[in-house]
Amino acid sequence: MLKIITGTIVGLVLGALIALGVASQMAGSMMFQERVSPFTVEETVARIQQNILAAGNGWALFGLRYPARPVEAEGGNVLPVMLIEACSVKYSGPILKDDKVRFLSLLMPCKIAVYKKSDGKVYIGIMNAGLIGKLFGSMVGETMADVVRDQEKFLVMDPTKPAPPMVIPKVGEGGGGGAGGSAGGC
Amino acid sequence: MTLRQLLAAGMLCAAALVQTAVLAADIPSLGDKLPPHKSTADHSKFKELDKVFKTGPEVTKACLACHNDAAKQVQHTKHWTWEVIDPKTGQKLGKKNIINNFCTSTVSNEKDCMACHAGYGWEDKTFDFSKEESVDCLVCHDSTGTYRKLPGDAGHPIYVRKEFPAGSGKFVEPVDLQKVAQGVAMPTRTNCGTCHFFGAGGDGTKHGDLDSSLRNPPKFLDVHMDAKGLNFSCVNCHKTSQHQVAGSRYELAASRTGKPQPQGKVDDNPASCQSCHGDKPHKESLLHAERLNTHTDTLACQTCHIPEYSRGSVGTEKVWDWSTATKMGPDGKPVLKKDSIGRRAFDSKKGDFVWDSYLKPEYRWFNGKVAFTTRGDKIDPTKTVEINHPEGKPNEPGARIWPFKVHRGKQAYDPELKNLLVVHTAGEDHTALWHNFDWPKAITTGMETAGLPWSGKYDFVSTEMSWPIAHMVAPKGDAVPCAQCHQAEGRLAGIDGIWLPGVHKNELIDTVGWLAAALALIGTLIHGIVRLCVPCRKPRSKA
């Protein structure tokens, strides 16, 4: 009997440890996703921006940030990174009105990163808003599911269409390599 | 020492101090009177330059009144002749002779191309290369930043207000030649950049490591030209003697060995990294430095210290495809399309373009010599035509692995005679491609002017041109990390003649190593089994 109980406990602990190990290994890829873009950094940004502006549902460009700039200002080199910020009042409003989940304003505005890696390829990095949403109740979960649907539309790029111009917000040039504050939805 | 001697010494010291104080008081303070310019001559005070100049050659005549050998010196440089004779092959090179991968040939297009000639009036082959007043002093020595030469004027500056580009509604004011002449100075990055940043018709188009971001560069972009740091101008490295500028890509030393050359000493290649840094420049921890210094026998400094080129907002042109030139828009009119940040993407006059920035160089063995495909040379249209081919092979003395920008494109060629075609592109005459969009007419004029036969047929062939990368040197902490080369499919994948730990293997050494490891494991196992199987000996009883 003692052997069975001991075996069960050891099995459970071992199982939990393995599950934790697997989860910790996979957490990064579950929370964040990246995909390769066939275009240059600037063209990728411009195409995503164009899609955001055409998406409806209250989406607006909130800013464009250059996280590499502060590093460059200190004399260091990093490959180009651009951060597109977009927001929709349709989705942000309900979350911001609910005291229990207002802290999720930390995740606003929505961000899409476009960056080059040392393999020379351009990547698009996005947050798995759907997964995060599921952690905070049904209202947030449903809202984030809608965000994910729209986000997928942002990333559809038709190479047969000409490159649109990149939208560079004209106001709010600030710290952190930021250039933010166009007509924002948040 | 006696007391008397001590007193005498003390009095002498006191007298010396008093004398020094008196002398110092006699010297007037000149600090606030120091002229603002670095030169020993204030050109604004010369009566030769205190007049209204109507043309560039008039200014040159005034310059030559004092600098009487300057024009002769310039006339012996590539900046004037646009011609280089390859000492090995006798091949005539230089802009006058080669076909490049951008605007292709200067022949029949001189009026436009000569906006970058250090001279006035080169319109066609009748140009007099001996005429001293045709030398343009101002393009290199202007310090006002107002001197400007436009395509179409055969190297002359703007004399009358002009719409440029034609039909754009933008106007360029004439140059105040008197102001420019009175403000001459040593060349700056801006002077050299007038042509070398904007070659091939646009900012960053040609080189990849030279663009207008280097006018006032931050440290991350180039440690030497860092405007707030060392602030080197081009001539700090491209040292000039009798107007001969060192470090041309036509006579590039791919390697230089030995210690650094002290400043002021004559160096055969002052534009090399090793000229200042020597060939064993790494000084950090002994073992690591030694390891890095052995790399200098194989790699050019630039290979590690320029991790990416075109690191900035300007970008560089990667592809120029002439085969789509003359395609019109739906309304039958010429079209100009731009990419996402405003660079040319398609032009009915010129074809398609592809741009990018932060580009990883392509690496090749290079011994400093470059073989060119020139006008009339036979080509194999089934393969990509190398407009220039960097020569060099593994273990060749003087050859190193260098980083290159490889610019790719498509150019017109003669499918029967199998050579690249000279195309008359620029100009307002009825045969110029950019005027009437007619390939056969433009090729006829181009080939006739070049004195070459043409079968009457044309097609397009893939071409590429290699540009050694030597500028945009990153801070040392940003050099290419070891692992980017020492891994399978790393940066140096495909380069022959090198042994890369982490990539290459030796079967014999690997087998011996694995055998040793296996034997050690077997030995350990046997030892363990023996220990398990043989009962432990009981400690002997003292009794």
* Secondary structure (DSSP) of A39-104: S-HHHHHHHHHHHHHHS-TTEEEEEEE-THHHHHHTT-----EEEEEEEEHHHHHHHHH-GGGGGG
Do B239 and B270 meet the contact criterion of CB atoms below 8 Å apart? yes
Write out the H or E segment, with its range, that includes residue B436: helix B433-436
- More confident call, B304 vs B312: B304
Do B315 and B204 meet the contact criterion of CB atoms below 8 Å apart? yes
The residues in A 10-49 lying below 8 A from B, measured between CB atoms, are 40-43, 45-47
Q: What percentage of chain B reaches a pLDDT higher than 70?
A: 91
CB contact under 8 A, B345 and A72: no
Is the CB of A166 inside 8 Å of chain B's CB atoms?
yes
| CA angle at A169 for the pair A163 and A170, rounded to the nearest 5° | 125
Is the CB of B324 inside 8 Å of chain A's CB atoms?
no
State how far the Cα of B13 lies from the Cα of A27, in Å rounded to an integer: 80
Q: Determine how many CB atoms are found less than 10 A away from the CB of residue B240.
A: 17
CB contact under 8 A, B340 and A120: no
CB-based burial of residue B86 (10 Å sphere; 0-12 exposed, 13-18 middle, 19+ buried)? middle
Is the CB of A55 inside 8 Å of chain B's CB atoms?
no
Q: Which of B220, B338, B355 sits opposite A72 (nearest CB)?
A: B220
CB contact under 8 A, A165 and B358: no
SS3 B289: helix
> What's the pLDDT band for A178 if we cut at 50, 70, 90?
very low
Q: What percentage of chain A reaches a pLDDT higher than 90?
A: 67
Instruction: Annotate B507-516 with b (16+ C-beta within 10 A) or e (fewer).
Output: eeeeeeeeee
Do B300 and B255 meet the contact criterion of CB atoms below 8 Å apart? yes
Q: Strands, E, within B239-398: which ranges? A: 240-241, 244-245, 316-321, 336-338, 344-347, 351-356, 362-366, 370-372, 385-386, 388-390
Is the CB of B125 inside 8 Å of chain A's CB atoms?
no
Residue B32: per-residue pLDDT: 63
B385-386 and B316-321 strand pairing: unpaired
- Is residue B94 over pLDDT 80? yes
> Whole-number mean pLDDT of chain B?
91
Residue B385: per-residue pLDDT: 98
Q: What percentage of chain B reaches a pLDDT higher than 90?
A: 79
Is the CB of B218 inside 8 Å of chain A's CB atoms?
yes
Residue B29: per-residue pLDDT: 57
Residue A137: per-residue pLDDT: 87
Q: What percentage of chain A reaches a pLDDT higher than 70?
A: 91
CA B309 centroid distance within chain: 11
CA distances from A77 to B177, B218, B492 (A): 41, 11, 21
CA distances from B357 to A115, B98, B221, B307, B354 (A): 12, 27, 13, 12, 11
Type of residue found at B244: Q
State how far the Cα of B433 lies from the Cα of B441, in Å rounded to an integer: 8
CB contact under 8 A, B340 and A77: no
State how far the Cα of B164 lies from the Cα of B177, in Å rounded to an integer: 20
The complex's ipTM works out to 0.84
Say which residue the tokens 């280089």 belong to: B84
- Is residue A54 over pLDDT 70? yes
> For B473, which residue in chain A has the nearest alpha carbon?
A77
- Best B225, B337, B340 member to test A by mutation, with max A CBs in 10 Å, is B340
Instruction: Tell me the count of A-B CB pairs closer than 8 A.
Output: 58
Residues in a beta bridge with A116? A122
| CA angle at B31 for the pair B26 and B32, rounded to the nearest 5° | 115
Give the pTM.
Answer: 0.87
* Beta-carbon-side half-sphere exposure of residue B309 (alpha carbons within 13 Å): 28
The residues in B 250-309 lying below 8 A from A, measured between CB atoms, are 307-308
Residues in a beta bridge with B344? B338
- More confident call, B9 vs A28: A28
- Is residue A186 over pLDDT 70? no
- More confident call, A178 vs A155: A155
Q: A137 φ, ψ to 5°?
A: 90, 175
Task: Tell me yes or no: is domain A29-180 CATH 3.30.428.10.
Answer: no
Residue B251: per-residue pLDDT: 79
Residue range A43-67: mean pLDDT, rounded: 95
Q: Determine how many CB atoms are found less than 10 A away from the CB of residue B173.
A: 11
Residue A133: per-residue pLDDT: 87
- For chain A, domain boundaries: 29-180
> What would the pLDDT profile of B95-123 be if each residue is shown by its tens digit?
999 999 999 999 999 999 999 999 999 99
Contacts of residue B39, Cβ cutoff 8 Å, sequence gap at least 6: B185, B186
- Is residue A184 over pLDDT 80? no
Q: Does residue B330 have a cis peptide bond before it, meaning omega lies within 30 degrees of 0? A: no
> What would the pLDDT profile of B181-202 be if each residue is shown by its tens digit?
999 999 999 999 999 999 998 9
- Is residue B292 over pLDDT 80? yes
State how far the Cα of B488 lies from the Cα of B391, in Å rounded to an integer: 25
CB contact under 8 A, A80 and B358: yes
Contacts of residue B281, Cβ cutoff 8 Å, sequence gap at least 6: B273, B274, B293, B296, B301
Residue B432: per-residue pLDDT: 97
Q: What 8-state DSSP symbol labels residue B375?
A: T
> What would the pLDDT profile of A67-124 be if each residue is shown by its tens digit?
999 999 999 999 999 999 999 999 999 999 999 999 999 989 999 999 999 999 999 9
Residue B302: per-residue pLDDT: 97
Would you state the structure tokens that stand for residue A167, as one six-digit string?
């939208």
CB contact under 8 A, A40 and B356: yes
Residue B46: per-residue pLDDT: 95
Chain A positions in Cβ-Cβ contact with residue B311 (cut-off 8 Å): 77
CA distances from B41 to B73, B133, B235, B351, B535 (A): 21, 22, 20, 49, 101
- Of the ranges B17-26, B149-158, B492-501, which one carries the lowest mean pLDDT score? B17-26
Would you state the structure tokens that stand for residue A162, as one six-digit string?
């000409």
Type of residue found at B391: E
- Best A49, A50, A77, A114 member to test B by mutation, with max B CBs in 10 Å, is A77
> What's the pLDDT band for B264 if we cut at 50, 70, 90?
low
| CA angle at B374 for the pair B96 and B122, rounded to the nearest 5° | 15
Would you state the structure tokens that stand for residue B111, as one six-digit string?
């009026």
CB-based burial of residue B532 (10 Å sphere; 0-12 exposed, 13-18 middle, 19+ buried)? exposed
CB contact under 8 A, A163 and B484: no
- Of the ranges A25-29, A148-152, B99-103, B190-194, which one carries the lowest mean pLDDT score? A25-29
Q: Determine how many CB atoms are found less than 10 A away from the CB of residue B207.
A: 24
Q: Which of B338, B360, B475 sits opposite A75 (nearest CB)?
A: B475
Q: B195 φ, ψ to 5°?
A: -105, -40
- Is residue A36 over pLDDT 80? yes
- Of the ranges A144-158, B16-30, B158-172, B322-336, which one carries the lowest mean pLDDT score? B16-30
- Of the ranges A6-20, B165-179, B230-244, B413-427, which one carries the lowest mean pLDDT score? A6-20
> What's the pLDDT band for A25 if we cut at 50, 70, 90?
confident
